[in-house]
Amino acid sequence: MKHILVTGGAGFIGSNYINHILQERDDYFIVNLDKLTYAGNLENLKASENNPRYTFVKGDITNHELVDYLFKKFDIRYVINFAAESHVDRSILGSQIFYQTNVIGTNVLLEAARRHNVERFLQVSTDEVEGLFTESTPLSPNSPYSSSKTAADMMAMAFYHTYGMPVLITRCSNNYGPLQFPEKLIPLMIINALHDKKLPVYGDGKNVRDWIYVIDHNRAIDLVFNNGRLGEVYNIGASTEMYNIDIVKLILKELGKTESLIEYVKDRPGHDRRYAIDSTKIQTELGWKPEYNFADAISKTIRWYLDNKEWWERIISGAYTQYYQKQYGNK
């Protein structure tokens, strides 16, 4: 049995990972350490909560006593670090918690993993680098969020070089799919459209993001976790570059809503123009390839939000509303 500490497993990607992988693998015992910030939601883990190979611990990855205790109590041999503050707009409004969780938190996990001689440590990193990039393109983060993730990514690699720690890094493009917190582009636009509220498109809407369905990302993470070469970085992307405005129009079309709901608003400060990821390495070296095409998976995602109104209505009536009313009026 593999005893794995999965951090941030109550968020969007982590919960999809746990729910998916516990079905796929019968040799994983997962301890999910999550602080349950505004983005963490135990409802996301209903499919896993009664699984005897799953346990949840509410706590902060920056708490080194707790982290050390968990390594000992559960004989943790593996770590997959999803936990992060993940929203660029929030990082622009206040950056401190981003460095606290994403940088200090990763350091606490790496130090604990080093003391306990773990067999693999996978750092879930991002693609937030301008333009098309491979694993060897120098990182050039522009937002507090991406700079904090870059620091964590570099730190993990430094632990590999300095201490010979068994580190792996994945850098993935923009994810979409079920259970994504409705502050990110796709769920926000779906939900606003369903309420006939304005859809706030930053700048001219011609920023490009490279999209991947969350299950394809998680399959790639698991492959790197098991078969990746230590000390290596693997890009994960589905070569689906889209203008933001085209995604917004597609959502409106699928929902039968009019484009008059689109509202061009003031641009995000430091807004990166284009993210695009070259994932040749994981494809050729590990044989991964995306299974979902964008047209089908975006329809599936929209359908999920239509079928799971209670999930997002509960969120909207809580932290999300308070946050947005404070920061953006009635966006």
Question: Which residues in this chain contact ligand NAD in the complex, by CB under 6 A?
Answer: 7-8, 10-14, 33-37, 39-40, 60-62, 82-86, 101, 105, 124, 126, 149, 172, 174-175, 181
Distances (CA, A) of 24 to 19, 42, 226, 268, 301: 9, 21, 13, 40, 21
Residue position matching structure tokens 């209903």: 46
Distance CA 30, CA 21 (A): 10
Residues 6+ apart with CB under 8 A from 198: 192, 261, 262, 263, 331
How near is the Cβ of 261 to ligand TYD at its closest, in Å?
Answer: 13
Q: What is the DSSP letter of 274?
A: B
Residue 127 falls in the annotated catalytic set: yes
101 binds, among ligand NAD, ligand TYD, none (CB under 5 to 8 A by kind): ligand NAD
Distance CA 210, CA 171 (A): 12
Residue 54 falls in the annotated catalytic set: no
Per annotation, catalytic residue among 34, 127, 222, 272: 127
Beta bridge partners of 209: 242
Distance CA 143, CA 36 (A): 24
CB-nearer residue toward ligand NAD: 218 or 261 = 218
Q: Fill in the per-residue mask, 258 to 287: x = in contact with ligand TYD (CB under 6 A), - = not in contact.
A: ----------x-------------------
How near is the Cβ of 11 to ligand NAD at its closest, in Å?
Answer: 2
CB-nearer residue toward ligand TYD: 139 or 201 = 201
CB-nearer residue toward ligand NAD: 39 or 199 = 39
Q: Is 250 in the site for ligand TYD (CB under 6 A)?
A: no
192 binds, among ligand NAD, ligand TYD, none (CB under 5 to 8 A by kind): none
| Residue 99 CB-density burial (10 A; 0-12 exposed, 13-18 middle, 19+ buried) | middle
Closest CA to 82 of 43, 23, 141, 39: 39
Measured at the alpha carbon of residue 19, what is the angle toward residues 324 and 217, in degrees to the nearest 5? 75
Closest CA to 9 of 35, 47, 38, 28: 35
Helices 244-254 and 185-194, axial angle in degrees (round to 10): 40
Binding span for ligand TYD by CB under 6 A among 22-30, 181-189, 219-227, 235-243: 181-189
84 binds, among ligand TYD, ligand NAD, none (CB under 5 to 8 A by kind): ligand NAD
CB-nearer residue toward ligand NAD: 88 or 261 = 88
Beta bridge partners of 58: 34
Per annotation, catalytic residue among 128, 153, 210, 216: 128
Residue from 200, 239, 278, 286 touching ligand TYD (CB under 6 A): that is 200
CB-nearer residue toward ligand NAD: 76 or 261 = 76
Distance CA 146, CA 294 (A): 25
How near is the Cβ of 137 to ligand NAD at its closest, in Å?
Answer: 16
Binding span for ligand TYD by CB under 6 A among 10-18, 117-125, 180-188, 302-310: 180-188
CB-nearer residue toward ligand TYD: 15 or 207 = 207
Measured at the alpha carbon of residue 271, what is the angle toward residues 98 and 265, in degrees to the nearest 5? 110
Chain positions contacting ligand TYD, by CB under 6 A: 88, 174, 184-185, 188, 200-202, 207, 209, 244, 268
Please identify every residue annotated as catalytic: 127-128, 145
